[in-house]
Amino acid sequence: MDSINIKQLAEKLNLSTSTVSRAFRGHSDINKETKEKILAMARELNYQPNHMASNLRDKKSRTIAVIVPEIANNFFSRAINGIERVARDNGYHVQIYLTNDDFDREVAFISQLHNGRVDGIIMSVTGEANDHSYMHKFRKKSIPLVFFDRMYDDINASKVSTNDYDSSFAATKHLIDKGCTRIVYLVVNKNLSIGKMRMQGYKDALESAGLPFVENLVIDCSNELIHNIDILEGVFRVIKPDGVFASVERLAIASYYVCHNMNLKIGDDIKIICFSSLEIASLLNPPLSTITQPAYDMGVEAAKILFRQLGMIEERTGNNDENVSEQVVLQSDLVIRQSTLGLK
């Protein structure tokens, strides 16, 4: 431990620690020359104010937490990219927490983070239907929380989402327009509000086209590829759907594997569309039609809201009420490709 502290630096300069401190904070008046001298010496000795100490003093960690289900996932990694960008611009640091869709871990993270370690939290929740009233306990504390994409409706916090209902409606309608009549809806977790919204869009699109909503066509899947392949093989064999609407990317991927295995021609025998952030959707065999969410922008928006609540950015309106929670809805893009078109 050969790092130097403010006291030692002050001694070397024959100055008091307060003066040295001032040189870094820029605050109070300080002689231009002494300041330069201090900074020069600091550079030479490679001194930097200890953050733990500074943070303890002004009760700010200059750090935010990002809690997500997983990171090896196009959507979340891009969102984090956006968050990091904004955080860095504001001089903040970003801590990552992965729940792996484990509710207990989520609770543990949330609890641990309310001890001054971070100034705010951005999160996308696990899908567990458990009681999440535990969060209320923390909502009363001063640390702001922003949800993005996956959220708990019953928690009062700022939220960044996309127009899931409209997108789902449009995607389902697209399948119907292309001639599908037996469209399965693949979902991992029906309890998530986002899952509900997407399913509602699917339902309503069916209805408005005069097609019945059949409970059996809603397929519960998991996060395990192997498991999903099992499930879908059964579904494709028994139900013989002519359309697949996957609420998340990995379910479309599983569908592709199964179709390839079963020699089903995607686009012809069965049309597939899904929510996805896959940048190479057009390179798949066949190119995959997607509802593309603005993942990066969602991260940026979520972070901006958080920093606004942290007072780092001027309020959007003249309103200075820090407790107002913002709701932002971004638009997804429906990108039609071969998987829902078939042979041209």
Kindly state whether residue 261 participates in binding DNA, applying the rule CB under 7 A.
Answer: no
- Identity of residue 223: N
Q: How far is the CB of 11 from DNA (least distance, A)?
A: 10
The candidate with the shortest Cα–Cα distance to 275, out of 214, 219, 202, is: 202
Kindly state whether residue 21 participates in binding DNA, applying the rule CB under 7 A.
Answer: yes
Q: What is the DSSP string of 175-228?
A: HHHTT--SEEEEES-TTSHHHHHHHHHHHHHHHHTTPPP-GGGEEE--S-HHHH
247 contacts 332 by C-beta, under 8 angstroms: no
Kindly state whether residue 63 participates in binding DNA, applying the rule CB under 7 A.
Answer: no
Kindly state whether residue 81 participates in binding DNA, applying the rule CB under 7 A.
Answer: no
Instruction: Decide which of DNA, a second copy, none touches 21; Cβ closer than 5 to 8 Å per partner kind.
Output: DNA
Backbone angles phi, psi at 119, to 5 degrees: -90, -15
Stretch that binds DNA, among 22-30, 158-166, 185-193, 311-319 (CB under 7 A): 22-30
Q: Measured between alpha carbons, how far is 305 from 123 in angstroms, rounded to an integer?
A: 13
Instruction: Decide which of a second copy, DNA, none touches 94; Cβ closer than 5 to 8 Å per partner kind.
Output: a second copy
Kindly state whether residue 61 participates in binding DNA, applying the rule CB under 7 A.
Answer: no
**Token pair recorded at residue 280:** 């190479």
Q: How far is the CB of 36 from DNA (least distance, A)?
A: 11
Instruction: Decide which of DNA, a second copy, none touches 25; Cβ closer than 5 to 8 Å per partner kind.
Output: DNA
With respect to DNA, which residue has the nearer C-beta, 21 or 255?
Answer: 21
Q: Residue length, the chain?
A: 344
Residues 25-44 touching DNA, rule: CB under 7 A, are 25, 27-31, 33-35
Q: Which residues of this protein are in contact with a second copy, per CB under 8 A? A: 1-3, 46, 48-53, 55-56, 59, 61, 63, 70-74, 77-78, 80-81, 84-85, 88, 93-98, 111-112, 114-117, 137, 140-142, 253, 256-257, 260, 280, 283-287, 296
Contact residue for DNA among 2, 58, 215, 321 (CB under 7 A): 58
Q: Within 13 Å, how many C-alpha atoms sit on residue 288's CB side? A: 29
Give whole-number Cα distances, 227 to 117, 161, 188, 230, 255, in Å.
Answer: 38, 29, 12, 5, 12
Stretch that binds DNA, among 9-17, 141-149, 234-242, 245-253 (CB under 7 A): 9-17
Stretch that binds DNA, among 10-18, 74-82, 189-197, 321-329 (CB under 7 A): 10-18
Residue 156: how many other CB atoms lie within 10 Å: 13
Q: Measured between alpha carbons, how far is 150 from 192 in angstroms, rounded to an integer?
A: 7
**Token pair recorded at residue 317:** 């309106």
Contact residue for DNA among 36, 40, 43, 50 (CB under 7 A): 50
With respect to DNA, which residue has the nearer C-beta, 21 or 277?
Answer: 21
Give the number of residues in contact with DNA, rule: CB under 7 A: 32
Give whole-number Cα distances, 321 to 36, 71, 142, 259, 308, in Å.
Answer: 40, 34, 13, 53, 11
* Chain CA centroid to CA 128, Å: 16
Kindly state whether residue 141 participates in binding DNA, applying the rule CB under 7 A.
Answer: no
Q: Measured between alpha carbons, how far is 253 from 223 in angstroms, rounded to an integer?
A: 11
Chain contacts with DNA (rule: CB under 7 A): 5-7, 14-19, 21-22, 24-25, 27-31, 33-35, 47-50, 52-54, 56-59
